[in-house]
Amino acid sequence: MANYLLVHGAWGGAWYWRHTLNTLIRAGHRAHAVTLTGCGERAHLLAPGITLQTHIADVRNALAAEELDDCILVVHSYAGMLGTAVADREPPGTLAHLVYVDAVVPRPGESWSSTHAGPTLRERLHAAEISPTYSFPAPDPTVFGLAEADYEWVRRRQTPHPGRTYQDPLQFDPRRVARVPRTYISCVQPSLGTIDSIRPRITDAGFWDGAWLPGSRVVELQTGHDPMISAPEAFNRILLELAN
């Protein structure tokens, strides 16, 4: 039996992992999904004071509350910032594996927004500045490669994302993070523009001053940014293989 903790990306919630949670639990594993403060069913808590540190605490507190030692931590999109922070800050033995799902992999001192194009950056910051909750709205789910029922399911459930998480920098020691075995699931059909700038890093021998490639692997899926929704069987198979 393995322990899994699943962390959604921007505009999401624990609901994002419906198919995956059911599959992991039916296979006999312990699996939990976090909803970050101000998101999903916790959208009533959305407020200007939510920061990157708030969301890092959400994940670390879930690990502690569920007593998930030797945990397979699965982080999607924006939550790559959180997974990186948790791997840096938790003691050895807490994480057995870190899975980045089409996710941000920062350099020390970068924010989620650091690799985004100017128009995207300006649009999101402007939306946050005019919002009473300092948040910015979700994009249309077509950019995630979703259509028909999947598109409608995500569209009606998305909620605005806390804006201060966007530019908060993350300081960490790459070599501490690299102690944890890592899998990067790269979703390329269609690929998401804000993640395309991350893809060269995950095959770069010099990334994290050479600490990234040892102990990491890349798995490519021919699906869009939300594989847990658009290609659940292929995606879940990758996660289940990590329990062996």
Active site residues: 77
Q: Give the containing element (helix H, strand E) for 109.
A: none
Would you write out the chain's pLDDT as a tens digit for each of its 244 residues? 999 999 999 999 999 999 999 999 999 999 999 999 999 999 999 999 999 999 999 999 999 999 999 999 999 999 999 999 999 999 999 999 999 999 999 999 999 999 999 999 999 999 999 999 999 999 999 999 999 999 999 999 999 999 999 999 999 999 999 999 999 999 999 999 999 999 999 999 999 999 999 999 999 999 999 999 999 999 999 999 999 7
Question: Position of tokens 């490519």?
Answer: 220
Could you give all domains of the chain from N- to C-terminal order, each with its CATH number? 3-241 (3.40.50.1820)
CA distance linking residue 35 with residue 43, whole number of Å: 10
DSSP secondary structure string for all residues of 158-212? ---EEGGGTT------HHHHTTS-EEEEEE-TTPPHHHHTTGGGGG-TTGGGGTS
Query: Which pLDDT score is estimated for 244?
Result: 78
CB of 104 within 8 A of CB of 118?
no
Q: b/e string for 192-207 if b means 16 or more Cβ within 10 A?
A: bebbeebbebbeeeeb
Query: Which pLDDT score is estimated for 190?
Result: 97
CA distance linking residue 4 with residue 163, whole number of Å: 28
